[in-house]
Amino acid sequence: MADLTAESLIAAEQARREAIVALDFDALEAMTADWFHYAHISGLVETREEYFARMRGSSVYPSIVATHSWDLEVELRKGYALMTGKSHIDVVTMKFDSLFLAVWEPDDAGWLISAYASTPLPDD
């Protein structure tokens, strides 16, 4: 069984963000549950299939040049974990900060993300 600690979950989140910037969709899919749902800042909600079809065919994702998260908090619960934090996305045409909630579930190989939602942080 994999290491299922708060530290390993934070490492999984970091690996997810690195895969986004690297356009490593295979790595992203490997850490994503089959029942994954993504609620975008725009209000668009996608299933795993919709999310990866859009990512692979999108001209937006190649323009993400950096992403990082901070103020991460992890709640380990029976059968899943909640992660909250703040996120920065640097896209060629814009930059923005958001507050996010991610649901991760344990797997034999580690953590799988099953849901993600974010909302813009107010401008300072």
pLDDT tens sequence across 71-119:
999 999 999 999 999 999 888 777 889 999 999 999 988 999 999 999 9
Full-model pTM? 0.87
Contacts 24+ apart (CB under 8 A), 36-43: 36/113, 36/114, 36/115, 36/116, 37/114, 37/115, 37/116, 38/115, 38/116, 38/117, 39/115, 39/116, 39/117, 39/118, 40/118, 41/96, 41/98, 41/118, 41/119, 41/120
Distance from C-alpha of 9 to C-alpha of 104, rounded to nearest angstrom:
8
> Which of 3.40.1010.10, 3.30.565.10, 2.40.50.180, 3.10.450.50 is the CATH number of 6-120?
3.10.450.50
Q: What would the mean pLDDT of 30-51 be, rounded to a whole number?
A: 94
Looking at this protein, which amino acid is placed at residue 33? A
